[in-house]
Amino acid sequence: MSDVIKLELDEIAAKKKLKQAALRKKQKMDRRKELLVDFSSLDLFRDLHKSDHLEVFGLLRKERWRLHSAAMRHNLEVTRRRTVDTPNETMKFAGSNTSHLTLFRLMMVMWSEGDFIETNELCIRAQEYGYEKSSVNAFLSDCMNEKILVRIRRGVYELPENVDEDQWENLLCLIFDETTYEFVTQMNRIYSMLKFASERKNSEFRKAPETFAQKTYNVFTSPNNS
């Protein structure tokens, strides 16, 4: 085989490899673009899904591990507070197992929204998380035994004053925690980037030329490229 033919075959193989890599990236990008469409339901980010997806995800990727670290450290601190260094009996009860934690959170959302805790409504909300009525009834029974809830009438409950105070203390522990602050700070940076990317007025100015990576991606994912 001559050197010229070998060089041509190598170029064909390299081009095929690049195209396969670009198509794999396109498949991933299509899935991620769906996230942007759903997120764009928020008015602040209504035009985000129309932005250059390669630039948006490229920008976020640079911040990926910084954000991962902040999120994991925050989650670990919440876990520690819930399982090892629990500040009160309410958190100890809620963190005793996974089902208690999920149902307790659903219950607190109802209470925070100004509603009484009704069995039927809690059952409806719990179904979205895979919990049947029997699990909800068992949870509510445990709440009564541990004095986490007070029954007003059949199927309707409220929080006693001591549990209300415990939840206030738990919220303060969350607010005045270094890992919470770091996580929120990093998320604010991310959302500022996304807000900038979604602003319509960006389209009023001259666009920067495509990067080499963008050109390569567009060439190899084009339907006309065989």
- The pTM assigned to this predicted structure is 0.74
Q: What is the pLDDT of residue 130?
A: 96
Q: What tens digit of pLDDT does each residue of 46-91 get?
A: 777 677 767 777 778 888 899 999 999 999 999 999 888 898 999 9
Structure tokens at 187: 């998320």
Of the candidate ranges 15-19, 42-46, 75-79, the one whose mean pLDDT is the lowest: 15-19
- Domain spans of the chain, in order of start: 3-68+182-215, 87-178
| Long-range CB contacts (within 8 A, 24+) of 50-54 | 51/197, 51/198, 52/197, 52/214, 53/29, 54/29, 54/213, 54/214, 54/217
Cα–Cα distance, 55 to 44 (Å, whole number):
19
Q: What tens digit of pLDDT does each residue of 110-155 get?
A: 999 998 999 999 999 999 999 999 999 999 999 999 999 999 999 9
3-state secondary structure of 128: coil
Q: What is the pLDDT of residue 20?
A: 72
87-178 fold:
Arc Repressor Mutant, subunit A (1.10.10)
Is it the case that residue 40 has pLDDT exceeding 80? no
94, 104 contact by CB (below 8 A): yes
Is it the case that residue 2 has pLDDT exceeding 60? yes
Choice between 5 and 134, residue whose per-residue pLDDT is larger: 134
99, 135 contact by CB (below 8 A): yes
State which H helix or E strand residue 153 sits in: strand 150-153
Tell me the pLDDT band of 214, cut-offs 50, 70 and 90.
Answer: low
Q: What is the pLDDT of residue 79?
A: 92
Q: What share of the chain is helix, strand, coil (3-state, %, to 5)?
A: 75, 5, 20
Is it the case that residue 180 has pLDDT exceeding 90? yes
Cα–Cα distance, 62 to 14 (Å, whole number):
27
